[in-house]
Structure 1
Amino acid sequence: MNGGMHTMASRQERATNGQAAFVGQPLTRTEDERFLRGKGVYVDDVKRPGMVHAVVIRSPMAHARITGIDASAALEAPGVLAVYTFKDIADRSTAIPIRLAPLPGFERYLQSALANDRVRYVGEPVAVVVAENRYLAEDACELVVIDYDPLEPVTSVEGAMADESLLFEENGTNVASHYEVSRGDVDRAFSEAEYTRKERFRCHRHSAVPLETRGLVAEWNASSQRLSIWGATKVTFFNRRALAPMLGLDVGQIDMIEVDVGGSFGVRGEFYPEDFLVPFAAMKLGRPVKWIEDRRENLMATNHSREMECELEIATRRDGTILGMRARLWSDLGAYVRTNGGVPLAKAAQLLPGPYRISDFHCESFALVTNKTPVGTYRGPGRYEANFFRERLFDMVAADLGIEPEVFRMKNLIRPEELPYEVGKLVTYVPTTQYDTGNYPDALKQALEAFGYEELKACRGRLIDGKLHGIGMACFVESSGGGPAESARIVVRGSNSFALYTGVSSSGQGHETVLAQILADELGIDPRCVEVFHGSTNHVEQGYGTFHSRAIVMGGSAVKCVAQKLLDGMADYAAARFGISRDAVSLRDGALWDAGTGTRLIGLDDLVRRAREGDASAAQALEAAGAFTNDKLTFSYGAHVTHVAVDPETAQVEVIRHVALEDIGRAINPLMVNGQTIGAAAQGIGATFLDQFVYDETGQLLTGSFADYLLPTSTEIGDIQAITLQDHPSKLNPLGAKGAGEGGIVATGAALANAVSDALRGLNVQITELPMSLNNLSRWIRQARNQ
């Protein structure tokens, strides 16, 4: 893929000649025109002839045996076509498979599409009602009588570890997985330490709340024996492979069609029970079936995330040099292991050492099932949690040793001459990993300078106008660009028309714009000439989707490689047809040229016409497909610095300024990266103070509406400054790119907790758990005053 038309102008050469180089330019998003004009097509906009509607009946009990289901009255209700329960799918294997993080033991805790004899969380699907419209289906749900025999719920990691009430009696334990990872000799490090400290931390349960809730439309064509599904996203090819055997189909009989998506942040597009139930109903009834969840369903049934506890211990010298670290992690998985439920725990263990020189490290991890909604990934899974645990402990240690927090970090950050840095095998299911390129101390230095840290240090802990001021910081390193491969296909449709098909999916990030920029640079065309088609399974032979900040690292690199393959094909065609050297062929102004003589050989419109007339060699020259393959991760890195003011009487926290800096190697579109970072930081600020799923002791979700589950508005997030560095491109892909979009959230909890603790230092309030909600913070202040 990398040989071929060597005379084709490179990006730098075109820029020198006055031609636009689009990679690196802050172009506005091409997608926005249709969104702002109301022309986006979301799953609820999909309407098929004869379409009917499904509503899921969900368990009101956190833990109970199902002793009977009577759907007779519902089946007699007007417009009701079917009521499906577990007995209707009992002859099928509907256990939802693991996609990522196959930790040992997880295979024993999978979820079936419908509950059989037991329910294990509030919101678990028990039955599905299908009717002519949604209103009739919802009315019929009230007529289905389900008898439950309550069981003792497990609602905490302590309860899960005690195994007093078992979710899966046949397994004999609520510990779904227990494993240990390490590097170096941590016992030796602690034996040589001049100082140690151990603390227990807790990160709360919360998750993404996309503007658009989940939904699907499925249609079975009996004559062609094909199933079409609208609304799948993120990992459509995996979902198709998972669904096909459940329905007794070949994967080639299923088309998953990605429409516009109103946000994901990790939770949309994974394989959920409804991803089987809706197509199943469509095949059974022979009619298209639509399902759209309401907001309460979204809050209690879509993947939760983040709930994790950590016992973290550090060993240092008196001068602050870190010798070793050891940890124990407890992750609350909820009731079942979902497709990627182990990722937060696995990545937290891997990234607990962060960007620091900690050669001796050990972590023991417990993945636990409880009677809560199952978990998955949420933007920066495991990173947000690990950074909070580590960076809070670092501030405590620095205070104990009488060292300024920035000095402690600078002393221990991995230096550029130490990169690539061996991380070791800290994730059980992937090979040994290396941090690739970077300058971690310089990132912190630049963040502090942009923040004006030296000038603001004087306000730390001071009471100004009735508020205590504090400054916090946190450093991070972030893995991205997960392999093994990504695919692209390019079709020339005319001199000013190019179709780009990609295996990556989009949920609003702007991939259509960025991928067009990459292709435009490779072909020397205007990005507006490129139409991007993404996500759907009929675009490329194989795709891997969008997760782990991989869309540009992997998908963008695939576009770059396949573009070169297209140029090679056109060079071969022109050389054979016109009898010139293939190295003399160039593409410009919508035509192929002989660069040596300056002769125009053939226009792309003419080439397209020839292909339509049956010229096989012309048709072959107009299309190229291929993949970029890489099994090594890239690592972005950076620092957050934040300034808060805390009212000690009301516990209100004002975020005055928050700086989020990240080196992503190469920004294809700096404007979009800036927006992604600001949006991620806003999510992180909201998560740190507001977002929280709260359960009572019976396993009932108490924050199941926006009256209780609070989200940030512009008045809560403060002034956010995003700084994007491109100082150290990755050497692992042809773009030099690292992941972007998660670095803005991963250190927010850590930096903000350090800032609030800094403000309340005079009251001796130490933040060891999140969220810093009004209730929690006011309680901690009262407790500190009463000590």
Structure 2
Amino acid sequence: YDAGAYCPYGLIVPIVAGTTLPGPYHVPNYHCEFTAVFTNKTPVSPYRGAGRPHGVFVMERLLDRAADGLEIDRAEIRRRNLIQPDEFPYDVGLIYQDNAPVQYDSGDYPRCLARAAEMIGYADWRAQQEAYRTAGRYLGLGVACYVEGTGIGPYEGCRVTVEPSGQVFAATGVGTQGQGHMTAFAQIVADHLGVTPRDVTVRTGDTAAFGWGTGTFASRAAVVAGTAASMAAAAVREKTRIVAATLLEARPDEIELADGKVFVRGVPSRALPLGEVAAAANPLRFAMPREWEGPGLEATRFFAPPRGTFSNGVHACIVEIDPETGMLSLHRYVIVHDCGRVLNPLIVEGQIHGGVAQGLGGAFWEKVVYDAQGQPLTTTFMDYLLPTAADLPSFEVGHEETPTPLNPLGVKGAGEAGVIPVGAAIAQAVEDALRPFRVHITEMPLSPSRVWELVAGTRRSA
């Protein structure tokens, strides 16, 4: 592991790579060692995926080698070795980055593989490929499976407050860089309080609003902070029922919240706006009932998960290679993803699309090159290649939902899943396309020039 000139984030990247490598498979014998060194290069710090693509690349390439050596179909060798749904929780026997055991909590790995194969048209692929080769075109298909450790601790918290105006405020310590936290947290809180997400204002990463938190990393915000928001909103809902029961002369268990109102079940005419209940919860005269446990409709809750929860999925793609130039064209890209309960499908798909695009850059275009003295050679975008929208196909996404038992929402993280298996899937597809040239891919990232060199090398040795 080349840490570069400094080590700003410890050994997280190689640790995550080593603990991700076994993937969704039965691996009864596994031993991993890594050597970390300092060099006079750019420092390395976690980046979306943070070691997971490296571990998945190694395992998936090993499975491809085993499939070829045993003359087994590449998808079939994966299917035979997948952990089955009735084996969860599954103890991998390793220690994760949070110092907790790597224990897969839930999933249906065979179902994800079968769905990805169906979506990409795997059963008919060989006939299609042969037709392309007859026409002088070199197309290949790749498929890669993965798991993603998400939702690690130590904790996150959230405070939820209902104002006399009826507006709801939620504050949490996690930071936001565009993941859609405001929308997702507002949805969670709104569901508990019977309001719309537009009625909920969310503040993140502001110590003036909420002073406790660990941060946004490791695909954890929806899992840890989202659960804290749910717990706080549920506590506010129960307090609302207690206060409203006094006002509406009913029992707390008869009180319902919906459409911004608080009412007696079965008697919608006996109702109050949520804001009026919030105002009544802060009495200016008379004695406060002991069961209110303080003024206002407000609660703070913290969630500390016992360990991380594991998302999983399968990517499949079809690529075309021009052996004369080494250029790659992406024809199709399919993703089947399981992050437990999906809170907001649009946000999850956006995370997946962005991750796949980023992963494709790292698989085929982007590479920082140094000379023998450690001086960077790729210092402009003329040298450091980036994929554009014109290089990418429309992504096809299939959601599977296997809720986790480790939090009450049943959610798993989704922020990094899109990038994780891309390098492995692309490597397999390129190798499949260039099978007539006996090219073997053992590295990432590739590039047009590198693919051309590999083809030229096999031609010289033929």
Determine if the TM-score, normalized by the shorter chain, exceeds 0.5: yes
Report the counterpart of residue 151 of structure 2 in structure 1: 481
Report the counterpart of residue 88 of structure 2 in structure 1: 419
Report the counterpart of residue 605 of structure 1 in structure 2: 275
Report the counterpart of residue 539 of structure 1 in structure 2: 209
1:451 counterpart = 2:126: no
Report the counterpart of residue 757 of structure 1 in structure 2: 431
Paired residue type of 1:541: G
Task: Kindly state the Cα deviation for residue 505 of structure 1 after the two structures are TM-superposed.
Answer: 1.7
Distance 1:373 1:341 in 2: 15
Contact 1:349-1:427 within 8 A present in 2 as well: no
Report the counterpart of residue 718 of structure 1 in structure 2: 393
Task: Kindly state the Cα deviation for residue 667 of structure 1 after the two structures are TM-superposed.
Answer: 0.7
1:701 counterpart = 2:370: no
SS at match of 2:161: strand
Among 425, 447, 451, the alignment partner of 1:777 is 451
Among 371, 375, 394, the alignment partner of 2:63 is 394
Report the counterpart of residue 403 of structure 1 in structure 2: 72
SS at match of 2:107: coil
Task: Kindly state the Cα deviation for residue 409 of structure 1 after the two structures are TM-superposed.
Answer: 0.7
Change (3 A) 1:731 1:597: same
Report the counterpart of residue 733 of structure 1 in structure 2: 407
Contact 2:101-2:307 within 8 A present in 1 as well: no
TM-score, normalised via structure 2 length:
0.93
Contact 2:263-2:269 within 8 A present in 1 as well: yes
Distance 1:658 1:591 in 2: 46
SS at match of 1:332: coil
Report the counterpart of residue 380 of structure 1 in structure 2: 49
Task: Kindly state the Cα deviation for residue 529 of structure 1 after the two structures are TM-superposed.
Answer: 0.8
Distance 1:466 1:457 in 2: 15
Among 352, 358, 377, the alignment partner of 1:677 is 352
The superposition leaves residues 440-495 of structure 1 with CA deviations (integer Å, 9 ceiling, x where unpaired) of: 11110110001111122224475254431111111111110111221111111245
The superposition leaves residues 582-633 of structure 1 with CA deviations (integer Å, 9 ceiling, x where unpaired) of: 3233334434334376563654333455577746959723211111221211
Distance 1:760 1:589 in 2: 60
1:516 counterpart = 2:190: no
Contact 2:194-2:261 within 8 A present in 1 as well: no
Change (3 A) 1:538 1:370: same
Change (3 A) 1:505 1:733: same
Task: Kindly state the Cα deviation for residue 729 of structure 1 after the two structures are TM-superposed.
Answer: 0.8
Contact 1:467-1:648 within 8 A present in 2 as well: no
Paired residue type of 2:426: L
Report the counterpart of residue 630 of structure 1 in structure 2: 305
SS at match of 1:677: helix
Q: Superposition RMSD on alpha carbons, in Å? A: 2.1
Distance 1:730 1:514 in 2: 18
Among 144, 150, 172, the alignment partner of 1:502 is 172
Report the counterpart of residue 233 of structure 1 in structure 2: none
Any residues of structure 2 matched to 1:307-386 within 5 Å, and which? 331-338=1-8, 340-386=9-55
SS at match of 2:16: helix
SS at match of 2:106: coil
SS at match of 1:544: coil
Paired residue type of 1:752: I
SS at match of 2:103: strand
Contact 1:673-1:724 within 8 A present in 2 as well: no
Distance 1:352 1:752 in 2: 17
The superposition leaves residues 354-388 of structure 1 with CA deviations (integer Å, 9 ceiling, x where unpaired) of: 10001111111211111111111111111111111
Report the counterpart of residue 667 of structure 1 in structure 2: 342
Aligned length: 455
Higher-strand-fraction structure: 1
SS at match of 1:666: coil
Report the counterpart of residue 200 of structure 2 in structure 1: 530
Paired residue type of 1:351: T
Runs of 4+ in 1 over 6 A off after TM superposition: none
Report the counterpart of residue 590 of structure 1 in structure 2: 260
Task: Kindly state the Cα deviation for residue 641 of structure 1 after the two structures are TM-superposed.
Answer: 0.9
Contact 2:243-2:281 within 8 A present in 1 as well: no
Contact 2:283-2:295 within 8 A present in 1 as well: no
Report the counterpart of residue 140 of structure 2 in structure 1: 470
Distance 2:270 2:164 in 1: 16
| Structure 1, 500-509 or 575-584: larger mean CA deviation | 575-584
Report the counterpart of residue 65 of structure 1 in structure 2: none
The superposition leaves residues 516-548 of structure 1 with CA deviations (integer Å, 9 ceiling, x where unpaired) of: 111111111111111111111222231122111
Task: Kindly state the Cα deviation for residue 549 of structure 1 after the two structures are TM-superposed.
Answer: 0.8
Distance 2:304 2:269 in 1: 37
Change (3 A) 1:623 1:648: same
Task: Kindly state the Cα deviation for residue 765 of structure 1 after the two structures are TM-superposed.
Answer: 0.7
TM-score, normalised via structure 1 length:
0.55
SS at match of 2:379: coil
Contact 2:166-2:273 within 8 A present in 1 as well: no
Distance 2:50 2:44 in 1: 11
SS at match of 1:363: coil
Distance 2:168 2:96 in 1: 41
Distance 1:735 1:608 in 2: 26
Distance 2:182 2:250 in 1: 36
Paired residue type of 2:133: L
Distance 1:445 1:721 in 2: 15
Change (3 A) 1:601 1:709: same
Report the counterpart of residue 96 of structure 1 in structure 2: none
Higher-helix-fraction structure: 2
Task: Kindly state the Cα deviation for residue 718 of structure 1 after the two structures are TM-superposed.
Answer: 2.3
Change (3 A) 1:588 1:650: closer
Give identity over the alignment, percent. Answer: 41
Among 422, 426, 446, the alignment partner of 1:748 is 422
1:657 counterpart = 2:337: no
Task: Kindly state the Cα deviation for residue 434 of structure 1 after the two structures are TM-superposed.
Answer: 0.9
Distance 1:596 1:371 in 2: 72
SS at match of 1:547: coil
| Structure 1, 573-582 or 770-779: larger mean CA deviation | 573-582
Change (3 A) 1:745 1:636: same
Paired residue type of 1:687: G
SS at match of 2:316: strand
Distance 2:266 2:125 in 1: 62
SS at match of 1:783: helix
Higher relative contact order (CA 8 A, sep 6+): 2
Change (3 A) 1:659 1:675: same
Task: Kindly state the Cα deviation for residue 637 of structure 1 after the two structures are TM-superposed.
Answer: 0.9
1:561 counterpart = 2:236: no
Distance 1:477 1:778 in 2: 32
Paired residue type of 1:722: V
Distance 2:45 2:378 in 1: 19
Paired residue type of 1:535: G
SS at match of 2:413: coil
Contact 1:425-1:432 within 8 A present in 2 as well: yes
Report the counterpart of residue 686 of structure 1 in structure 2: 361
